[in-house]
Structure 1
Amino acid sequence: MEDRGFHIVNYCVLAFFTISVLYPLIYVISASVSSASAVNSGEVVLWPVDFNTDAYQTILASPRLVTGFLNSLIYTVAGALLGTALTMLAGYALSRDDLPWRRALTFFFLIPTLFSAGIIPTYIVVRQLGLLDTWWAIILPGAMNVFNMIITRTFYKMNVPNEMLEAARVDGASDFGFFFRIALPLSKPIIAVNLLFYGIAQWNGWFNAFLYLTNENLYPLQLVLRDILAQSAVNPAQIGGPDVGELVKRKELFDKLKYALIVVAMIPPLIAYPFVQKHFVKGALIGSLK
């Protein structure tokens, strides 16, 4: 009886957390395909009211939103690939016991996690390198995350023992040959972890674009979404005048459009996660243990 009661409590807790996660997602999707008046009047509770796809048609018809979506895809793919490549190389090198000054190099990597130069010095560096208003201003700063590198180093220390390296050397393998032919094929779980971490960080990032970009054609989707949310925060009742009716209509459209933009922003991570879930769980668990 005690075990049965324990299982019932577990199921209830799991059901509660599942509902708490699913309800906001369902509400956002329902609001994005409901009429603007229904959304603003609070009629949308769970299911769509006055179903329509005006918000998504507006997104597809807006060059700015489409450009922002494509820019975010470019930043995400490039940032994930570059960050993963740097992290794998650094993590593998620091996992090797025969690396000279290994402890000093590890401490050198850890310094930025303890002390940060700040926004202004970083901005000056980016400007002096000529990266302002370029894709590289979003991709290069913070290209490698030290936390991810530590997880990768731990993964290699646990899964690629020195005995394997010595056996490869007996067969005539060089250090690069061992890494690319033996260590890297064994690294699928940690590669999935790094790709997901870097990809999500790039996709959700907007602050670097806010600092380093003035060309709206290079804005990522998150920065475009921020601008739209800032515009929708205007209260037409505080303005008055003959154009207040038009302002009310625009605000209603903005209030509905932001839900559609949230849905669009969620689509790529939701599509990508199932493909890396198997390796992600294994890599995150193995790489985080010491």
Structure 2
Amino acid sequence: MTELEDRPDIAAVRTSLTQIKDTPGTVVFRWFNYTFLTLLSLVTVYPFVNIIAKSFSSDGAIAAGKVNIWPVGFNLTTFQAVVSDSMFWLNYRNTVVYTVVGTMIAMAITTTFAYALSRQNLRGRGPLIGLAVFTMFFSGGLIPNYLLVTQWLGMRNTIWAIVLPGALSVFNLLVMKAFFENFPAELEEAAALDGLSTYGIFFRVVLPLSKAVIATMILFYAVSQWNSWFGAFLYLDDKRMFPVMMYLRNLIASVTGAQEVTGSVDDAVQIGANIQAVTMLLTVLPIICIYPFVQKYFVSGVMLGSVKG
């Protein structure tokens, strides 16, 4: 490497490159990019900073529009009201369980179904794809779904009423199917020649090489399950089984109702204004903590599953 660096022609090229000056157009373009990306970053970060500021601000300051990026009238009433309740932590634990179990079930169904549909020699492949796509545009409706889950399947007040009805996303299924269709057939043929069965090829060859799209789908399913509350609203009566989103939804509804009825501004009602900010903060915080670990797979996973080469 040192001999190459000492060569006159290499040194001349390096000198000429260092002497090249940016044109006025290049300088303007670079500064425009820096300015635009800086403003875009500020616009993206500001809502999160504003939510944090509102969660620690007083009700009056929020109502007067005085809160921007720094708390005004520092207030911990909302946090104290929420975190001091043992039911909150029980419901928070429920949300973690529902998210983990629901994501595992969803990934098991999605990966196996998508891999099967990606096989060109699968019998009935066309009707199965058509049936899956059909459900994207048509559904049985709310009442039939409610009757199916509560009466016919008997899953009311169980974890299965939360994790099973939405276990399969057809959009995620089609993305993974496209990814598996682009998977090199030579690898599967080589694995088959080595004596692996279909299941062996899937678990020992395909899945280990599909980390990008799998991480992306895990993020999609986990976020959806974490933010879900409507299923609990329909199928759960026992408050001890509620997810934390349902707990916070009920808290907001009760405080808002108290404000409308009494119009008072005591501590019990004061949390009505900033409880929405606290709710969003507590909701998004776990996802923000997890996202950096899967972000590197996010773009590549979606693109690999959406572009057929």
Same fold (TM over 0.5): yes
Structure-1 residue corresponding to 2:256: 233
Deviation at 1:30, TM superposition (A): 1.6
1:255-275, Cα deviation, whole Å (9 max, x unpaired): 233322221111110111111
Q: Distance in 2 between matches of 1:47 and 1:70?
A: 31
* 1:282 matches 2:300: yes
Structure-2 residue corresponding to 1:16: 39
1:84-233 maps to which residues of 2 (within 5 A)? 84-127=107-150, 128-158=152-182, 160-233=183-256
Contact conserved, 2:110 with 2:173, CA < 8 A, in 1?
yes
Structure-1 residue corresponding to 2:285: 267
Deviation at 1:25, TM superposition (A): 0.9
For CA contacts below 8 A with separation 6 or more, give which structure has more relative contact order: 1
Q: Distance in 2 between matches of 1:41 and 1:235?
A: 20
Deviation at 1:61, TM superposition (A): 0.7
Q: Distance in 2 between matches of 1:112 and 1:134?
A: 25
What is the total number of aligned residue pairs between the two structures?
284
1:72-130, Cα deviation, whole Å (9 max, x unpaired): 11111111111111111111111112222222221121111121111111111101101
Contact conserved, 1:59 with 1:66, CA < 8 A, in 2?
no
Q: Distance in 2 between matches of 1:234 and 1:209?
A: 21
TM-score w.r.t. the length of structure 2 is: 0.85
Change (3 A) 1:57 1:250: closer
RMSD: 2.0
Contact conserved, 1:72 with 1:220, CA < 8 A, in 2?
yes
Q: Distance in 2 between matches of 1:36 and 1:118?
A: 40
Match for 1:161: what amino acid? P
Any stretches of 5+ residues in structure 2 without a counterpart? 1-23
- Among residues 65, 70, 88, which one is paired with 2:93 in the alignment? 70
Q: Distance in 1 between matches of 2:187 and 2:64?
A: 66
TM-score w.r.t. the length of structure 1 is: 0.90
Any stretches of 5+ residues in structure 1 without a counterpart? none
Give SS of 1:233's match. Answer: helix
